[in-house]
């Protein structure tokens, strides 16, 4: 069956055992894990009560639902390069040490992130405020996400999830829930959502790539998504949890070479892809809300309740963090950590502006 969403999306309900994942040669005889082996409930609490959170839904759910035993798959127009990020090349920045340079300095990609390293990470989590930033050209995109990585500068493995405005993949400029993975720094592998085989979806409630609603606005409620990527210690599969209630699915451990053990880096924040980052004139593609960090009015991109999962299997705030804005005149960061019960990370910007011509 198929569902026609009011926003124009078409969602196909596909038999869970016939999903695209099983076209991957490594998953030929794979047995689906329907739920994580355990639920990480214990986390380090900060003083004070958690503030109320306004979470989002997906537009297509207004028009119907997929029955149990199926998964919802967004129907998209496929092309030869619809699903993979552009391969990365690197330039040198003396302000960063070698280990940080492995992941952060990528040609045509501009990041404004909070970066944790120093441990073997088994998960990363955050509450990401949802916006709909301007994306100038069809071959550009803007994302806000949680990412876990391991590897060298040209050959790393990574998984990530968050929201994206990506017209090349989705054919429009709506804000959409996405996942992404690669095993070689996006040189030969890597794709968004289910556009290549690999990710095994188990939920019949969430369509990867589908539009998110409501969207935040500067004077309205702060709508957000809660993303949690974590490793199952029993199966070594990497699970994606959405809004603390829905286990969307997982990347099987045998897709990876090094990430099947742990990640060495967790990142939270924004990324803009454009051939015109680091150049003049700069792209006008925005990050976050398109505003520079605003911890007072909270009208910018932000990520709150930042957590990592380490070997002790307890969610806690990361002990070691660094902030990075590769083009701080275009996209900036602000880390609110002093004299607050719960540290918060603010980021974003408009791209081209008087400070970033």
Whether 160 is a known active-site residue: answer yes
With CA atoms as reference, report the closest residue to 351 among 112, 96, 93, 87: 112
Catalytic residue among 136, 140, 271, 327: 271
- 3 alpha carbon, distance to own chain's centre: 26
- Tokens 């944790």, located at residue: 116
Please tell me which residue in 117, 136, 157, 160 is annotated as part of the active site: 160
SS3 324: strand
What's the CA gap between 309 and 317, in Å, rounded? 9
Is the peptide bond preceding residue 281 cis, with omega within 30 degrees of 0? yes
Backbone dihedral region for residue 326 (phi beyond 0: left; psi -120 to 50: alpha; all else: beta) = alpha
d(CA 339, CA 22): 50
Kindly calculate the radius of gyration of the chain based on its CA atoms and give it in whole angstroms: 19
CA angle 133, 136, 138 (to 5 degrees): 105
Our CA angle for 275, 345, 89, nearest 5°, is 25
Q: What gap in Å lies between CA 312 and CA 24, rounded to an integer?
A: 33
Identify whether 310 is a catalytic site residue: no
Which residues are known to be catalytic? Answer: 160, 271
């Amino acid at each position: 069956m198929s569902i026609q969403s009011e926003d124009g999306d078409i969602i196909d309900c596909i038999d869970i055992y016939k999903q695209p994942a099983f076209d991957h040669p490594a998953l030929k005889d794979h047995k689906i894990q329907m739920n994580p082996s355990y639920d990480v409930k214990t986390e380090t609490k900060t003083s004070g009560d958690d503030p109320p959170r306004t979470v989002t839904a997906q537009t297509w759910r207004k028009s119907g639902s997929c029955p149990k035993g199926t998964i919802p798959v967004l129907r998209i127009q496929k092309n030869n390069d619809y699903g993979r990020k552009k391969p990365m090349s690197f330039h040198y920045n003396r302000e960063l040490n070698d280990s940080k340079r492995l992941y952060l300095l990528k040609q045509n990609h501009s990041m404004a992130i909070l970066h944790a390293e120093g441990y073997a990470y088994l998960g990363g989590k955050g509450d990401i405020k949802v916006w709909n930033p301007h994306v100038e050209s069809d071959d550009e995109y803007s994302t806000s996400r949680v990412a876990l990585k391991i590897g060298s500068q040209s050959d790393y493995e990574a998984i990530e999830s968050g929201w994206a405005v990506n017209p090349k993949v989705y054919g429009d400029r709506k804000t959409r829930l996405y996942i992404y993975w690669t095993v070689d720094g996006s040189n030969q592998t890597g794709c968004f959502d289910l556009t290549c085989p690999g990710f095994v979806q188990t939920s019949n409630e969430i369509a990867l790539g589908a539009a998110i609603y409501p969207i935040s606005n500067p004077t309205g409620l702060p709508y957000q998504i809660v993303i949690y990527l974590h490793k199952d210690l029993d199966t070594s599969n990497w699970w994606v949890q959405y809004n603390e209630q829905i286990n969307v699915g997982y990347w099987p451990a045998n897709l990876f070479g090094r990430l099947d053990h742990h990640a060495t880096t967790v990142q939270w924040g924004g990324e803009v892809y454009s051939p015109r980052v680091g150049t003049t004139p700069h792209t006008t593609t925005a990050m976050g809300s398109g505003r520079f960090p605003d911890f007072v009015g909270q009208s910018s991109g932000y990520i709150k309740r930042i957590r990592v999962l380490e070997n002790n299997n307890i969610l806690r705030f990361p002990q070691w963090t660094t902030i990075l804005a590769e083009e701080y005149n275009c996209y900036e960061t602000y880390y609110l950590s002093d004299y607050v019960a719960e540290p918060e990370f603010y980021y974003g910007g408009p791209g081209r502006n008087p400070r970033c011509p």
